[in-house]
Amino acid sequence: MNRRKAPLLLALALLLAGSALLVSKARPTEGPSPETNPARAPAKSGPGEALAARSQGTPATEAGAQEDTDGLERPGVDLVSYLRSRYGARIRDPHTQMRMLEQLMRHFQKLNPTGWEADLLAVLQQAFPELYDELAQRLRQRLDYEKWVKEHHAELQQKPAAERRAALWEERTRLFGKEAAERIWAAELRNLAVADALTAIDALPGASVSDRMARYKQSLEKAYGENSQAYVRAHQQELMNRFLDLGSVQKDLGTMAPEQRARNLRTIREEMGLDAQALQRWEELDRMRDARWELGSQYMSEREALAQQYSGPELEARLTELRARYFSDEAQTVAEEERSGFFRFTRPRQWGRN
């Protein structure tokens, strides 16, 4: 082992010893890390692609109203009192109506799969008799929209994102009316506004990372108004990832010297409201990632050299030795990945993300 590699291996070993705790503290809302399971690394998509992919859902799904039914299923709960307490203050709002109807649908469909609609309407009559006709109509609109989406699913999937969005909004407006539709799908409209802003930010010529971040924060403030700070606090990880996923941001970070890149990553995280402790954890994670990628680059260079000299069983024996020297306990995992055709250190480096 050469002198340059020895301290790097030692440093990486020390970093990896605490990596599980570090990652769990640094990324409390993230799923499995591509670093711990790189074969499952998610495919990269554009800023608005995920939003477009889920824009065919039912109104409550798009409004972010996937409530659980625990409140309805508690032993001895009075359903009418529960509905009045939970939804009564805002029951005239179309979005609130849809949240309630979605929760009731899940509850009654579980209890009575064939006669659930009559049971649901009976409860609405008791809980909100003065709004019964409006709520019954809203339920019918909800069911008609779901039926339409199912019937046109294949057709919608074949349309470009913009045409699919236009078709969906045309049907929503026809069924619910423009004002009610915009209230029910308010969350989608805000998300799409931010996604469109990200697309524009990504295309800005000559903008610095700081300039793009300033525009991003402006788009969040415009979309979420007086609730923007609370929204950012509640979605720090998601919002930060969406910004870091921009090709322009990654390109700029990739051309920076390490110290400048570290400063820019810190600024991005500060702008997303991370506190001092979180910033320190992220910086430690960045150092761990840098060391790992450096080690991976050295490994791939040696691997390529071996592949040019050997083949067959002799090559596999030498690769087994090489992986054990570089990755220790992870050597078998790396071998299985490579047999499947996945090489973790040939995938693109996403600064601040892997």
pLDDT digits (tens, 9 = 90+) for 219-230: 999 999 999 999
- CA separation for the pair 62, 120 (Å, rounded): 22
Confidence band, pLDDT 50/70/90 cuts, at residue 12? very low
Q: What is the pLDDT of residue 11?
A: 42
Phi then psi for residue 170, to 5 deg, are -60, -45
Q: Which residue has the tokens 């480096």?
A: 349
| Residues in Cβ contact with 133 at an 8 Å cutoff, skipping those fewer than 6 apart | none
E strand residue ranges, 122-182? none
Confidence band, pLDDT 50/70/90 cuts, at residue 44? very low
pTM, entire model = 0.75
Q: What is the pLDDT of residue 296?
A: 96
Confidence band, pLDDT 50/70/90 cuts, at residue 56? low
Q: Which amino acid is at 101?
A: L
Rg of the chain, C-alpha, whole Å: 26
Phi then psi for residue 55, to 5 deg, are -85, 15
- CA separation for the pair 69, 278 (Å, rounded): 34
Count of residues in the chain = 354
Q: Which amino acid is at 319?
A: L
pLDDT > 90? residue 3: no
**Nearest Cα to Cα of residue 272 among 312, 228, 324:** 228
Confidence band, pLDDT 50/70/90 cuts, at residue 77? confident
More confident residue, 77 or 259: 259
pLDDT digits (tens, 9 = 90+) for 153-194: 999 999 999 999 999 999 999 999 999 999 999 999 999 999
Q: What is the pLDDT of residue 70?
A: 59
More confident residue, 6 or 226: 226
More confident residue, 331 or 36: 331
Give the residue-averaged pLDDT of 102-125. Answer: 95
pLDDT digits (tens, 9 = 90+) for 272-301: 999 999 999 999 999 999 999 999 999 999
pLDDT > 80? residue 40: no
Q: What is the pLDDT of residue 20?
A: 37
pLDDT > 90? residue 151: yes
Q: Which amino acid is at 18?
A: G
Torsion, CA 203, CA 207, CA 213, CA 214, rounded to 10? -110
Write the DSSP symbol of residue 37.
S
pLDDT digits (tens, 9 = 90+) for 336-349: 999 999 999 999 99
Compute the mean pLDDT over every residue in the chain, rounded to the nearest whole number: 85
- CA separation for the pair 234, 65 (Å, rounded): 16
Q: What is the pLDDT of residue 45?
A: 43
- CA separation for the pair 7, 3 (Å, rounded): 7
Whether the Cβ atoms of residue 62 and residue 55 lie closer than 8 Å to each other: yes
